[in-house]
Amino acid sequence: METIILKGSSKSNAKLLLELAKKLQFSARKLTEEEEEDLGIAISVQEGMKSGLLSENEKRDFLKSF
């Protein structure tokens, strides 16, 4: 399984890419603005967890706070 994320400013081109993906039998859909923000936060958290700036206990406590 492969995952590809594309971001562009043209609605017509995005629609074309979605249609092409479906014809090629890819699972494809447009993300909502909220889903896009959630994805950005998740990526930031992952990068932060790998950075080594916090101890394991600090990371765990931070994640439990949500």
pLDDT (tens digit per residue) in 11-56: 999 999 999 999 999 999 999 999 999 999 998 888 877 877 778 8
Tell me what pLDDT residue 56 has.
81
Tell me what pLDDT residue 39 has.
92
Distance CA 50, CA 57 (A): 14
- Cα angle for residues 22, 13, 32 (degrees, 5° grid): 70
- pTM value > 0.85: no
Tell me what pLDDT residue 49 has.
77
pLDDT band at 60; cut points 50, 70, 90: confident
Tell me what pLDDT residue 50 has.
82
